[in-house]
Amino acid sequence: MRTVVDLTRCQGYAQCVFLAPEMFELHGEEGLLYATAVPDDQVERVRQAAAACPVQAILLGEEVSPDGR
Amino acid sequence: MADDLKSGRIVVVGASLAGLRAAEKLREEGFTGSLTVVGDEPHVPYDRPPLSKQVLLGQATADTTELPVRRNADAEWRLGVRATGVDLTAKRVLLADGESLPYDRLLITTGTRARPWPNPEEAGLAGVFTLRTREDAAGLSERLSAGPERVLVIGAGFTGSEIASACRERGLEVTVAERGPAPLVGALGGTLSKLAAVMHRNHGVDLRTGVTVTALNGNGAFTGAQLSDGSRVEADVCVVALGAVRNVEWLADSGLAADPRGIACDAGCRAFNMYGIVTDDVFVAGDVSRFPHPLFGYQMLSLEHWGNAVEQAEVAAHNMVNPGPLRRPHLAVPVFWSTQFGLNIKSVGVPTYSDHLVIAQGSLEARRLAMVYGFKGRVTAAVTVDMAKSLDYYRHLIETGAPFPPPPGAADRPIAADVPVPSDVPDPSVLSHGPTVALTGHLPDRRLTVV
Query: b/e for A27-63, b at 16 or more Cβ within 10 A?
Result: bbbbbbbbbbbbeeebeebbbebbeebebebbbbbeb
Amino acid identity at B175: T
pLDDT of residue B428: 64
pLDDT of residue B445: 44
Question: For testing the chain B interface, which of A10, A25, A27, A62 should be mutated: the one with the most B CBs within 10 Å?
Answer: A27
Q: Are B211 and B275 within one domain?
A: no
Between B385 and A67, whose confidence is greater? B385
State how far the alpha carbon of A56 is from the alpha carbons of B33, B253, B344, in Å.
31, 43, 19
Q: Check which CATH number belongs to the domain holding B202 and give it.
A: 3.50.50.60
- Residue B33 domain flag: yes
Contact criterion met (CB below 8 Å) for B197 and B207 = yes
pLDDT of residue B442: 47
- Residue B448 domain flag: no
Does the pLDDT of residue B404 top 80, yes or no? yes
The residue count of chain B comes to 451
What does the pLDDT look like over B184-210, one tens digit per residue? 998 999 899 999 999 999 999 999 999
Q: Are B283 and B367 within one domain?
A: no
Complex ipTM = 0.95
The model's confidence at residue B421, banded by pLDDT at 50, 70 and 90, is: confident
The model's confidence at residue B82, banded by pLDDT at 50, 70 and 90, is: very high
Size of interface A-B (CB pairs under 8 A): 101
CA atoms of B19 and B43, how far apart (whole Å) = 13
Pick from B47, B57, B336: CB nearest A4: B47
Q: Which of B189, B221, B242 is the last residue of a domain?
A: B242
Our CA-based measurement puts residue A49 at a distance from the nearest CA of chain B, in whole angstroms, of: 16
Q: Are B251 and B108 within one domain?
A: yes
A56: alpha, beta or left? (left if phi > 0; alpha if psi -120 to 50): left
pLDDT of residue B447: 46
Q: Are B109 and B217 within one domain?
A: no
State how far the alpha carbon of A69 is from the alpha carbons of B44, B82, B317, in Å.
11, 19, 19
Q: Are B226 and B268 within one domain?
A: no
Contact criterion met (CB below 8 Å) for B163 and B433 = no
Query: Percent of chain B at pLDDT above 90?
Result: 85
Task: Indicate yes or no: CB of B342 within 8 angstroms of CB of A35.
Answer: no
B38 to chain A: nearest residue by CA? A66
* Number of domains into which chain B is organized: 3
Q: Check which CATH number belongs to the domain holding B414 and give it.
A: 3.30.390.30
Which run of H or E residues covers position B320?
helix B306-320
Any A CB within 8 A of B60 CB: yes
> Over chain B, what is the mean pLDDT?
92
pLDDT of residue B435: 60
- Residue B414 domain flag: yes
pLDDT of residue B425: 81
- Residue B199 domain flag: yes
Q: Are B346 and B418 within one domain?
A: yes
- Residue B75 domain flag: yes
Domains of chain A, first to last = 2-61 (3.30.70.20)
Q: Which of B242, B269, B286 is the last residue of a domain?
A: B242
- Residue B447 domain flag: no
Q: Are B108 and B256 within one domain?
A: yes
Task: Indicate yes or no: CB of B386 within 8 angstroms of CB of A10.
Answer: no
Structural domain of residue B92, as residue ranges?
A: 2-113+245-326
pLDDT of residue B416: 46
Residues 11-40 of A with CB under 8 A from B: 11-12, 27-37
Task: Indicate yes or no: CB of B77 within 8 angstroms of CB of A64.
Answer: yes
What does the pLDDT look like over B304-348, one tens digit per residue? 999 999 999 999 999 999 999 999 999 999 999 999 999 999 999
Any A CB within 8 A of B368 CB: yes
Q: Are B287 and B258 within one domain?
A: yes
Any A CB within 8 A of B342 CB: yes
The model's confidence at residue B434, banded by pLDDT at 50, 70 and 90, is: low
Q: Are B36 and B89 within one domain?
A: yes
Does the pLDDT of residue B417 top 60, yes or no? no
Q: Are B121 and B229 within one domain?
A: yes
What does the pLDDT look like over B20-48, one tens digit per residue? 999 999 999 999 999 999 999 999 999 99
Contact criterion met (CB below 8 Å) for B383 and B317 = no
Does the pLDDT of residue B156 top 90, yes or no? yes
Q: Residue B227: CB partners within 8 Å, gap ≥ 6?
A: B177, B208, B211, B212, B213, B214, B233
Does the pLDDT of residue B149 top 60, yes or no? yes
Q: Which of B209, B224, B242 is the last residue of a domain?
A: B242
The model's confidence at residue B217, banded by pLDDT at 50, 70 and 90, is: very high
Mean pLDDT across the stretch B343-366?
93
HSE-CB at B33 with a 13 A cutoff on CA atoms is 19
What does the pLDDT look like over A16-62, one tens digit per residue? 999 999 999 999 999 999 999 999 999 999 999 999 999 999 999 99
Query: Percent of chain B at pLDDT above 70?
Result: 92
Task: Indicate yes or no: CB of A33 within 8 angstroms of CB of B20.
Answer: no
Q: Are B152 and B198 within one domain?
A: yes
Does the pLDDT of residue B95 top 70, yes or no? yes
Mean pLDDT across the stretch B147-158?
97
- Residue B388 domain flag: yes
Q: Are B67 and B93 within one domain?
A: yes
- Residue B192 domain flag: yes
CA atoms of B387 and B368, how far apart (whole Å) = 6
